[in-house]
Structure 1
């Protein structure tokens, strides 16, 4: 099915062609017509399925009736869990908005940066992309009002709830007009999400894109048993010995991420950290340089994983294992995309071996394990 059959305008179809979008993904094929028809939508689909465009395109179409009007309050509210996702969603809106005859102003607001410039930029905004905490700060300052919201989007709702935003989201929902269109996207359907779903959605169009069982087939997985004190030197050995470029390394804490980066730099390996303590500008610059290939190694916490979306990422290394098998799959799922084979390597201490066996059982795949002590570095 081509995009032209979904009810989008000629201007948006031309913009899609310019961006080399040839045909809609399953989530886009189902969601775009429903959103155009002002239906509530519940979409369950993994990251990387094309869900952002599936609501951006129809919302921009619907926005044309009030675009160009000097409105006092936003018409569309998109709630997201992280600053990185807020920026990504804003850019998608802006990219396609440029093709429209009537301008649609989009603004992303989030914490970690000064609130004053965001307050000043709110004038005339049609589409507001926000993290819950910063939105509540703006509401408390009487800088923004939600009375004009016609459409609410909860993007990556499962992540939002996992990060502890349930109370904030409930408070925001209580401030919105009762009559509105609601769009909820999530990678999973948890009990907490069922609560939000029942609270928000009215007779929704339910779209569930099943995750393919073969989604890990393009990822070559390998694990090394390495003593904790040897993981740093072993990581540096792997990167240098195999001449790795564009290496995404995951660690559990901000402190460990910084320590890994410092050691890599001292050994002449270009590396940067990306985590919640970094400024938005720093995080954006690091991610841009990493995507373009200018940066050799990016070391990240799990919180940042959903903001890292690269089609041809060759390497993911788990410096230590995540707490859950789902997080492990999400980590290594950054590679092996767009039909390009990727490498996922895990450095495992003996204490982590049992946990890794659980991860293998959950994902239904056996991973070759090598004793790192036999390798001279």
Structure 2
């Protein structure tokens, strides 16, 4: 049996969740949405205001008769979540407030594979401290390109030195709750929560960088697998090929459609496109510029990537039957050159090839998803945020 405090916490969470999912509402509308009495909702809203989680906005006039109601909306000023991405060639940090607005972000080119994990985590920690100088955070979520159990890296084909590393322990100096998750899973959550196809019940997200990952949302829930290591689709033998993969095998999908495959096909060694120390977005901007200028080698490389994506995506569509397949990471950046060959290869194998779309979140998807996860404890139990008078 729930205690009175537990019931109060659940009701606060219900009101906060409706404001997050449905936008600003009057107290009367919140009472209708939650099934609570108007008096109860007024009391709950008052407490959420006192905790700095909601604010009263403009007057709402639903009709010409009766007094107008004041809209209640999320207040993003005092509570933020931090998303961190550790990737093969960069670190990224993003701060998201309670209302879903980006408050701060930064990305640093880092040759993660060549450095000791402790050194990389020290750099990430410095970025987090910089983010926290003006933005009060309630938690940190780290996106990692591999399989994670708890906060420990269990599989990392492109970052083998990280296997066995406890990422949360490396950031313990932050004195904040730290969660660690697969980057593609977090990207899928970002698309589901904030992308143009938000709250589509069945969605597949594909991210392309050095590796290729996938996140699957089915029935509105992230599919994690029996051990939490699902989504490593880049290492399935979905397309023919003999290129060695970071996992030690040959013929993995990411050896055909990953960023390394594109750069190998589009540029010779010594070309600035192949320089891992150069910012990834700069390199992809150059790929796009060459393609738009009609460079035959670049266009051919992109067409091959698109076809390979279509072949592999057909397997995923057949398995999960998603309403939408979202291409993220570098796939989205150069997507204008991938979609036609991808859809042609997909249409030859499954129905409705038009379900493939490009992410609008770009390389921020994983850190957005991480920041979103970092904020979830507040939405689950708003009483974890102290009353503002406690700071006085």
After TM superposition, the score normalised by the length of structure 2 is 0.31
After TM superposition, the score normalised by the length of structure 1 is 0.31
Greater Cα radius of gyration, structure 1 or 2: 2
